A and B are shown apart, each in its own frame.
Chain A
Amino acid sequence: MKLEVSDHDGLRIVTVPEARIDAAAALRFKEAMRAATAEGPDHVVLDLAQVRFVDSSGLGAIVAAMKALGAGRRLDLAALTPDVAKVFRLTRMDTVFVIHEDAEAPLRRATG
């Protein structure tokens, strides 16, 4: 899976340009996330605006990516579409992640 990476003042935004993180995509997503966050800013935001659907495999891969960041670094989520938000809410994973309206929200907070 190809992920788009952009850095902004201590924040790395990783964008998923695919519609699904499901059982067929979870492993490739996990590997791509490892590569996309191996170095760079400590604060990473995963932009899910284009993702319409996440199943439990995809959810597990997102949790794994967060754990793999290690101490002192954090993974937030941004722009959850309705079905994705539902999966996070039903599993209470919405209480584990900081979830932003959109990927640029942390930047506005920092400057505003």
Chain B
Amino acid sequence: MNGQAGAEAQGAGCGRMARMFYRQIAAEDLAVRALLAEMRGWLATLGIGEERCGAIEIGLAEALNNVVEHAYANAPGEIAVDMRLAADGLRVILCDRGAPLPRQRLPAAAAPPTPRRRAALPEGGFGWHLIRSVARDVDYARAGDRNCLTLVFDIMPGATWSP
């Protein structure tokens, strides 16, 4: 029996170096929070540094929040989270059966403006900008009634690090 193959088949938590992590979670804020904590623990077992772990958690948090708030509009639903360590980085695929993105494509990456007038400051609209800032590649596909969002993160420390 090949130990590593077993770990891969079963996901994180059962092998020292499971290179794959798969979960199906409820589309709820607290389930997202729990998933992120578990994911961060898994990344740490892979030896990925704190800065990269933080960047990945930010990107994943925003993508999952979007599914909860917009795709499912806070109605019940499920999100499949598939993460694997690949040669080109950490690949994450999130799939759900909620509403498609507007025009079935990714929104622009622009950050909301930061006007000097306090009353005009934005209180939202940061999500996609954050995702695109921390992920190297972002891809979206609508297939039937499913949304699939693929995020690829660099895992070499320093790649996007700006102190």
Contacts and interface: CB of A to CB of B under 8 A. Distances in A.
Interface of A: 20, 22-24, 53, 55-57, 59-61, 63-64, 66-67, 82-83, 86-87, 89-93, 95-96
B114 A55 contact: no
A56 B127 contact: yes
Contacts, number: 77
B113 to A, nearest CB: 9
B65 A82 contact: no
B58 interface: yes
Contact of B54 (A20, A60, A82): A82
A15 B133 CA distance: 29
Interface string B35-56: 0100000000000001100110
A98 to B, nearest CB: 13
B6 interface: no
Given A55-B58, A83-B57, A92-B111, A23 B121 contact: no
Nearest to A87: B58
7 contacts: A55-B62, A60-B124, A63-B123, A87-B58, A89-B162, A91-B126, A92-B111
A33 B50 CA distance: 30
Interface of B is mostly: helix
Given A60-B124, A91-B111, A96-B114, A23 B65 contact: yes
Interface of A is mostly: helix
Contact of B114 (A53, A56, A93): A93
B29 A63 contact: no
Interface of B: 29-30, 32-33, 36, 50-51, 54-55, 57-58, 61-62, 65, 68-69, 111-112, 114, 118-119, 121-127, 129-130, 133-134, 162
B29 A90 contact: no
Contacts of B125: 56
Given A53-B36, A90-B58, 5 more contacts: A83-B57, A90-B111, A90-B130, A90-B134, A91-B126
A23 B57 contact: no
